[in-house]
Chain A
């Protein structure tokens, strides 16, 4: 990831900040708050080291153990999980729970639905965001300033106000209980338009002027110049959108009333009480695997995308 994502950090204090930034390499000479000088003091050194060790232990307990517990519960019998929540596979390892959940509790259907929702939302989001950012950052027609203001203003209006009217809108459009009802509202994100727009603004203007002189039309420029350059940032917003729609609960609960269209989140919340515990845990594990794998594979994009939230929303 290059600079634009982290380009602004906290509007309020951002002004007097040096452009210097840490890159992947050169960790050895990196200095932070606690210096080599501080650590020369044996007491300080011992307390810093022991705090770091304790902190890592807490992180493992808090960040990893609940997931490990889920893995154990998903592959144990219900009696094991209930009788000894701290135990490890008392009555043996039962990976078959996952297969049973997949087939018997229709997790296959709900997983497919979740994929349909997440992929569709991501696709339409990319379409809207890329064209919007291109128009606002590069083409800049006369009405761009107005559109810009109108879109950015929605960032400051709390989403809660739209819940009821959005529901009535999808009824009016007669798209309730179709995939469009989750795809389209999810595709519209002022935040994504903002970070892609900021990214595109860093592309040197000469590139577009040269294309214009060559007589290249705006659509060819979009396809051959902007899209290849914007790929990293598009990847970040695509990931964040995919995960956000994978996680979403309240909107699909309202917008997709038929049981056959439920995503995992809605299905799990409704089925948990009536399903055998081990199967419910197995289903929960299946619902968690995809986002975790995506995160582990695309860590860097994730973390830079999340850091952008903090800087942009300022």
Chain B
């Protein structure tokens, strides 16, 4: 490659020289951080996650075990418990957590100037609190006796005390509320940004046709936001199925495994050094979520066109 003088056209050396002189090498060097980064910390772990699901390893010796890890995943009675819990968590989180940000964003978007800015800041503030701090704070609020903030409030009106995190009837709801508190702010900001892009003339036109506020919400705002709403619903579903930190630190999966979630089960198997089973369960969960996104994207594309 040192024959830079006059390599004959068409030879491999010539094309390499031309590539280097044309900036090809510099481009490649600039692409290297991305190539190395996404290979080592992106695609390799994903690939290895799939491989590990069919192996048993103790980090020293590794052997292929076929579908054995999957058999063990499905024969674990805790799997069904965790699946049920996660589905219940997802259901409550979506039923409560989907409309709240929408209502909040619609209200903030009707505000002007400083009030609007204040509204956005207040709505987003919980999102900025580090999750571990938020969770430890909620653990104080949920304390089962009169030392807990919520039970103190309930006591003032003659109710409680409720063992929010230790009573199986309430623990799931308590988790969902803490989760929504921590997460709703981002969704509100996203809806707000989408609401700003709605063409005002559509509202004017609806008004000329005699439409009141409710009709404008139903016939203009919601249809105009459809794309964003569907995307956020999908993201919320994917997010709640991977819930980990809240149950891990708030309830530890208790009481009686009532708040044990799928990701916590992965984590338990992982901590036990059972990497194969942990990977098999991760793979199943990831597969279901990826399938969900795919179906969802197909359906929404059809609706949108």
Contact = CB atoms under 8 A, between A and B. Distances in A.
A284 B137 contact: yes
Interface stretch (B30-38, B74-82, B165-173): B30-38
Interface residues of B, number: 118
Contact of A69 (B28, B149, B199, B200): B149
A162 B121 CA distance: 34
A279 interface: no
Given A17-B197, A164-B49, A218 B137 contact: no
Chain A contact-residue range equals: 35 or more
Contacts of B66: none
A272 B252 CA distance: 14
Given A158-B242, A160-B263, A265-B131, A217 B228 contact: no
A169 B37 CA distance: 13
Interface in B127-175: 127-137, 140-141, 147-149, 152-153
A268 B230 CA distance: 37
Interface stretch (A93-101, A127-135, A198-206, A229-237): A127-135
A236 B245 CA distance: 26
Given A288-B129, A310-B190, A295 B124 contact: yes
B217 A33 contact: yes
Interface string B273-289: 00100110011011001
Interface string B281-300: 01101100110010000001
Secondary structure at chain A's binding surface: helix, strand, loop or mixed? Answer: helix
Nearest to A284: B133
Contact of B43 (A150, A159, A185): A150
B257 interface: no
Nearest to A312: B231
Interface of B: 23-24, 26-28, 30-35, 37-38, 40-46, 48-50, 52, 59, 104, 106-107, 109-113, 115, 117-137, 140-141, 147-149, 152-153, 181, 185-187, 189-197, 199-200, 203-204, 207, 212-213, 216-217, 220-221, 224-228, 230-232, 235, 238, 242, 244-245, 249, 263, 266-267, 270, 275, 278-279, 282-283, 285-286, 289-290, 293, 300-301, 303-304
